[in-house]
A and B are shown apart, each in its own frame.
Chain A
């Protein structure tokens, strides 16, 4: 079961305005913040999340060798997290 999990993101923006996520900050239920470094940005497109709902810019990123989607919707970022 996946759910919409809002995360913090540090990112860089270049002169052309291209956005590149660098680190994802995951807030676990105990209140601890876990950091995940984005190893690679593979693709950016506008898309809907069919698994958890919502739509916006979808960043296909590689974190710890695994490919995952990171969404930006109305200024907030979320991932398709496990409940």
Chain B
């Protein structure tokens, strides 16, 4: 390891706290009659989200996996108790856990609802990572009735790896001097940042363990894995210097998207147009809220066999007009999607965002006056919706069945890239 990185790292104490089987644990906590039974938290079948979102250890023992469809999970475990998710409760317990972490440091970076990194390096009281981790574990158990696993190391990546190594209710410290002995034999897919496709590529070329990745030739990684290859190699060598963000840190918005699983499969372009038009209303609204313009648009499609594909294109002029975004997204979709299979879910994302105060380069093929008029019209609609409610103005085409699910009570913000 490079000496400057080594010196920097050794001054740090980073904890990664992971709440075990979070959704299922909260359900079992609130209803003790569930505690001795195999439990799976599953999405609504009516809303076509009928898959396992989380399960407790008893269900896990039967082979129930996150992502299993309900009938498959019940086939594996006939006594499985299926409960519906209560997101308000998960938010509450997530907030209470962070309140506990805040007693130790203000450097708390959440990674989803149930995971957080804590940087104890600047604490007034010199931090003993293991002792503090054990203390936090016992407080969370006492105050919230939930168990957490904590990983302790000098950087975020190995701290997370540590919290995954022993579950539930355990602290894992990876000693600085012997991290190679502990970490390098682990499968490469355990490393943060190695997803399914990167894992498949590495595995195909014989890089099965984190140690293999640590010693992989840089050229190979750049060629096969892309720009993240070198970052992953550095991670595998324990050279992650990324900082733990403060609790009040708001990560910059890089894209704004909205996607849903339709009540029924979408079978033709007309269905897609209606759903797209509905989706971009939210995208346009959030672009305005963030003060951004979209420089491009991306359409994500998942067909009824759960295969995904995504198309992207740039816009001639950056905009936050929902109608303009919808037209661009629809045109992109019709050019690229072959209709081999009906569509289960659709996502529209505004990408390549720029500030709405930025200077914009126009071209001779696009009529900026037309876009300007459209944006003014959209702003008027936005104002009307703010005053009288979302349903006050609608495109006539949306008055029929848009196949949009109706009961969408909560928007869940999922973890953003921790190192991007």
Contact = CB atoms under 8 A, between A and B. Distances in A.
B32 interface: yes
Contact of B142 (A48, A53, A54): A48
A47 to B, nearest CB: 6
Interface in A17-48: 45-48
Q: How large is the interface on B (under 10, 10 to 19, 20 to 34, 35 or more residues)?
A: 10 to 19
A53 B143 contact: no
Given A46-B143, A47-B142, A47-B143, A52 B32 contact: yes
Contacts of A53: 29-32, 145
B317 interface: no
Interface string B135-154: 00000011111100000000
| A48, A49, A52, A54: residue with the most chain B Cβ atoms closer than 10 Å | A48
B144 A48 contact: yes
Nearest to A51: B32
Nearest to A50: B145
Interface string A37-75: 000000001111111111100000000000000000010
B344 to A, nearest CB: 36
B32 A55 contact: no
B96 interface: yes
A46 B144 CA distance: 8
Contact of B30 (A45, A47, A54): A54
B143 to A, nearest CB: 5
A47 B30 CA distance: 13
Contacts of B141: 48
A48 B32 contact: no
Interface in B14-34: 29-32
A47 B140 CA distance: 9
Contacts of A48: 29, 141-146
A59 to B, nearest CB: 14
Contacts of B143: 45-48, 55
A16 to B, nearest CB: 20
Interface in B232-253: none
Contacts, number: 29
A13 to B, nearest CB: 22
Contacts of A55: 29, 96, 143-145
A27 B144 CA distance: 27
B205 to A, nearest CB: 48
A4 to B, nearest CB: 9
A55 B31 CA distance: 12
A49 B146 CA distance: 11
A75 to B, nearest CB: 12
Interface in B139-180: 141-146
Contacts of B32: 50-53
A61 B96 CA distance: 24
B154 to A, nearest CB: 31
Contacts of A54: 29-30
B88 to A, nearest CB: 10
A73 to B, nearest CB: 10
A47 B144 CA distance: 6
A16 B156 CA distance: 41
Contacts of B145: 48-50, 53, 55
A57 B248 CA distance: 26
A8 to B, nearest CB: 22
A10 to B, nearest CB: 26
A49 B145 CA distance: 7
A51 B30 CA distance: 10
23 contacts: A46-B143, A47-B142, A47-B143, A48-B29, A48-B141, A48-B142, A48-B143, A48-B144, A48-B145, A48-B146, A49-B145, A50-B145, A51-B32, A52-B32, A53-B29, A53-B30, A53-B32, A53-B145, A54-B30, A55-B29, A55-B96, A55-B143, A55-B144
Closest 10 CB pairs of A and B: A48-B145, A53-B30, A46-B143, A53-B32, A55-B144, A48-B144, A53-B31, A55-B145, A47-B143, A53-B29
Given A48-B146, A55-B96, 18 more contacts: A45-B143, A47-B142, A47-B143, A48-B29, A48-B141, A48-B142, A48-B143, A49-B145, A50-B32, A51-B32, A53-B29, A53-B30, A53-B31, A53-B32, A54-B30, A55-B143, A55-B144, A74-B92
